[in-house]
Structure 1
């Protein structure tokens, strides 16, 4: 079984990319398996917190052990939020998977985050964690802007890097919720539940609040290190 661990920051197209892989007949998907462990350690009061904690292991090692279980399909796609990789989480298991990275320009991430969650920290955006994993293990880097500009071309390149064949089914999917969606879907997935494919690329300027401009500056070197390897 090929296990793909796709590491993304927040306010990206990570759920749409999970839909894309879920549309493959040969692929099982797992939605943010470290989320409950992240909430248990941080104590953060996210929407649906109690449901998330009840739906997944709150111990990271148990969550990772579950990921080792066979899925009945030759490919498994794990959608991970990079900020869920807290310092307390062990790293040795990352050598067991094929790591990949979904990135987005930090100005757009910070501008989008500020609209829904207030003021994040650099760790909340996941860039340092992505760079840590990339330096240790490498893996293909997918820039979300390029993905939206050319889904077929970018997915072909990504699949080649992952060692799996490209499947045209990855370009579209039926609307609606999936049994594999996390229990947090009602709070976050309304747009992707309406979608039937990747949204058109809209090159709009990012409106970053002045008080968060320092975050864009702090994140920029991490993003650029990864972007230099983007497909």
Structure 2
């Protein structure tokens, strides 16, 4: 099974990748479209040159690899950032994957993301792409807040929705970096490198929203509200 988990930034996405990677039957792929995204947009992200050198720059090559390339485990978990999916990238190329969606309250996303990029945009957050993918492919929708509040129950429900068995190993992991981490990890993953479970992975949860980002929050909310009715209920 190839699971494509589509998330915006600062959504607990790397911690969830850690959770799946700790399963003995699972390997992970970290943001496979990142280099293609940077190549197409010309954006100057931290570590840009290293990212471009580490992955194929053609999204078509990436799509072929992650949909039909060899996998050395029963489950492959692909961590995707929705903003990496540009208009010229045909969604149909990813149709063979088992799609799932990780969402988070946009206010919490913005308070966290603003710490690493002072002026994020709607395009940076990838919410329109996430809604478009959900409307095209469907799949389980899980909220980061549910995972933080009840990790075991949320992961049991997510695994059931994906058609795989839950594994207790998903609840904790050793601290530190992984060979599977993208080359951009030193710029973004310090919190996850220090973590051993979900409780330690909630950057910005108690911080107020900077007033300058209030208009952006208003633009984000309709997309979040579109997916909210489909979020898995966690007891």
TM over 0.5: yes
TM-score class normalised by the smaller sequence: over 0.9
Partners of 1:152 and 1:171 within 8 A in 2 = yes
Q: CA 1:201 to 1:145, structure 2 compared with 1: closer, same or farther past 3 Å?
A: farther
Q: Name the structure 2 match of 1:208.
A: 209
Cα deviations across residues 21-60 of structure 1 (Å, max 9, x unaligned)?
Answer: 0001111100000000011111111111111000000010
| 1:24 maps onto 2:10 in alignment | no
Aligned to 2:135: 135
Contact residue 151 and residue 198 of structure 2 kept, 8 A: yes
Aligned to 1:167: 167
Query: How many Å apart are 1:74 and its aligned residue?
Result: 1.2
TM-score, reference length from structure 2 = 0.94
Segments of 5+ residues of structure 1 without an aligned counterpart are: none
Give RMSD over aligned pairs: 1.5
After the TM superposition, which residues 190-205 of structure 1 pair with which residues of structure 2 at under 5 Å, given as runs?
Answer: 190-199=190-199, 204-205=205-206
- CA apart distance, 1:187: 1.4
CA positional deviation for 1:228: 1.1
Summarize deviations over 1:84-122 as a string: whole Å, max 9, x none. Answer: 001121111231111111101111111222221011221
Change (3 A) 1:27 1:78: same
Number of aligned residue pairs: give it: 230
- Tell me, in whole angstroms, the C-alpha distance in 1 between the residues paired with 2:82 and 2:49: 21
Residues 6, 101 of structure 1: 8 Å contact kept: yes
Shift of 1:210: 2.2
Conserved? CA contact 1:104–1:145, under 8 Å: yes
Rounded to whole Å, the distance in 2 between the matches of 1:201 and 1:97 is: 27
Q: Which moved more, 1:17-26 or 1:207-216?
A: 207-216
Check the 8 A contact 2:191/2:201 in 1, yes or no: no
Q: Are the aligned partners of 2:103 and 2:144 in contact in 1 as well (CA < 8 Å)?
A: yes
Shift of 1:190: 1.3
Cα 1:204/1:183, change in 2 over 3 Å? closer
2: distance between equivalents of 1:11 and 1:205?
14
Alignment partner of 1:179 is 2:182: no
Q: Distance in 2 between matches of 1:129 and 1:199?
A: 28
Q: In the TM superposition, what is the alpha-carbon distance from 1:206 to its structure 2 partner?
A: 4.8
C-alpha separation between the residues in 1 aligned to 2:81 and 2:12? 12
Q: Residues of 1 paired with 2:172 and 2:205: CA distance?
A: 24
Aligned mates of 1:201, 1:17 — CA distance in 2: 10
Who is 1:69 aligned against? 69
Structure 2 counterpart of 1:84: 84
**Which structure 2 residue ranges, 5 or more long, are not aligned?**
none
